[in-house]
Amino acid sequence: MRDLLAGVMEEFKADYLEMRYHAREVTSISVATDALEQANSTEYTGVGIRTLVNGAWGFGSTSKLDKANLRLAAGDALKAARVASSNKSQKITGLAEAKMAHGRFRVKENGPLSDVSLEEKMGLVVETEKMVRKKSKSVKSAICHYRELLDRKIILNTDGADAEVWEARPELWVTAVAAEGGKMVSITESDGVAGGWKDLFRRRSPEEMAEKAAKTSSALLKAKFPKGEKTTVILDPSMVGLLAHEAFGHTAEADFVLSGSAAKGKLGKKVASELVTLVDDGQPNIGRCPAGTLMVDDEGVLARRSVIIEKGIMKSYLFDREIAHIFGLEPRGNARAFEYSDEPLVRMRNTYVEPGDWKLDEIIGDTRQGYLLVNGFGGQADANAEFMFITQEAYEVRNGEVGKLLRGVTLSGNAFDVLGSVDAVGRDFDFNMGSGYCGKGQPAKVDGGGGHIRCKAIVGGRKEG
């Protein structure tokens, strides 16, 4: 396939030409309350071709992998670029120089996913769902879902990229729904990594996930709601990951910066506490192998570490090659496309707050009044850095001790204000967003995390009744 792509590339003349072969196998299994709802494995393959002509992009794609159809797709991309150029008032003036990838790149799999049969994976999902319902009488229904992506890519471009990439990303979701006296609470425990079957369960087993979901959902039936207030909060790694990715990371994506995000004009300025160093990295050498691991991006650029905030100072944005050229900075592998028929966009990979010096028990012991927020479960954030996240578990902290479990808790505020209020960063570290996907026009597997942090934010609740 590599030689076929290279042969077609040589036939076309353009300011820049990029060819991306992508073969994907997706396995998906779902069981809901003892009923198998889904068990399938699908494969699809295609080539995306992007070209730059006279200051404008053109894109074409095909699932027919012979020379004739690749030529047609390349021709379509060139025609689209010429048409776009004739109607474009503000032309692309160039692409930033970057470290292009050469050779073969493969995520290490401890227990390759291809060695585990569909039947074995299905059996694990079925048994895990049963375990959830057995762990507590209050659990009335349960859902267990397993999904994996196996990707192989070949990326060539006229600027020298020549890379073959293999990626594997498994994930498991376990949901328990507890009900009693007209009350109903659901809790989801999930995990996702880049790696193999054993990597997915290195942090905790499916049984531990099932037990946690069942017991927490049952306990929350008796929990009260907090009062809404701005207060001290201690965020666990999942909440830190949400803050890092959703609330701040998106404002630092350079396409959003050009559109006027809250990070615009902030380079070199203080945007957070000096305790905060915020990083986005395709291959972080910290913690386990996170789900956003990316060795080569979809422009053929080697994925490297990008420091967004260093000790409170805004150091960089996240770029593709086009926008990096505008800023006069170097791209570090943040151009990503989910499928062969998608064009690359500026995207995050693994976004996290670097660990600090505090032990968790020291942070708790030093907190007179506030909340410990655990197990983030999504939410929303805007380009102005305003956010609202859901936390599945929240605990009162009083006089240095963890107290009552609360439910229905949200966290909100402005990311710049919240990061500016950080006065403790934990030395513990975990990536804890690996089962999810980032949106932005097309999905992307990402991850996020950090150590526990203490800061100020708005905790939302509601009155009983």
Distance of CA 403 to the CA centre of its chain: 32
Going by pLDDT thresholds of 50, 70 and 90, the confidence category of residue 193 is: very high
Q: Determine the residue type at 104.
A: R
Q: Is residue 442 pLDDT above 90, yes or no? A: yes
> Are 353 and 276 in contact, with CB atoms under 8 Å apart?
yes
| Contacts of residue 175, Cβ cutoff 8 Å, sequence gap at least 6 | 132, 142, 143, 144, 186, 187, 188, 189, 213
Q: List the end-to-end C-alpha distance of the chain, in Å, as a whole number.
A: 64
Q: What is the pLDDT of residue 328?
A: 96
Q: Computed from CA positions of residues 210, 216, 217, 218, in that sequence, does the dihedral angle turn out positive or negative? A: positive
Q: What is the mean pLDDT of residues 205-210?
A: 97
Q: Is residue 464 pLDDT above 70, yes or no? A: no
- For 145, the token pair is 């879902």
Scored b (16 or more CB within 10 A) or e, 54-79 reads ebbbbbbbbeeeeeeebbebbbbbbe
Write the pLDDT tens digit of every residue in 373-429.
999 988 889 999 999 999 999 999 999 999 999 998 999 999 999 999 999 999 999
Q: What is the pLDDT of residue 428?
A: 94
Write the pLDDT tens digit of every residue in 330-371.
999 999 999 999 999 999 999 999 999 999 999 999 999 999
Q: What is the mean pLDDT of residues 189-207?
A: 96
Q: What is the mean pLDDT of residues 320-329?
A: 97
Going by pLDDT thresholds of 50, 70 and 90, the confidence category of residue 286 is: confident
Write the pLDDT tens digit of every residue in 2-58.
999 999 999 998 999 999 999 999 999 999 999 999 999 999 999 999 999 999 999
Q: Is residue 457 pLDDT above 90, yes or no? A: yes
Task: Determine which helix (DSSP H) or strand (DSSP E) holds 346, and give its type and residue range.
Answer: strand 345-346
> Are 426 and 163 in contact, with CB atoms under 8 Å apart?
no
What's the CA gap between 66 and 53, in Å, rounded? 24
CATH 3.30.2290.10 residue ranges in the chain? 2-220
Going by pLDDT thresholds of 50, 70 and 90, the confidence category of residue 462 is: low
| Contacts of residue 180, Cβ cutoff 8 Å, sequence gap at least 6 | 138, 221
What's the CA gap between 339 and 277, in Å, rounded? 32
What's the CA gap between 459 and 371, in Å, rounded? 8
Q: If 0-12 CB within 10 Å is exposed, 13-18 middle and 19+ buried, where does residue 264 land? A: middle
pTM above 0.75, yes or no: yes
Looking at domain 2-220, its CATH class is: alpha beta
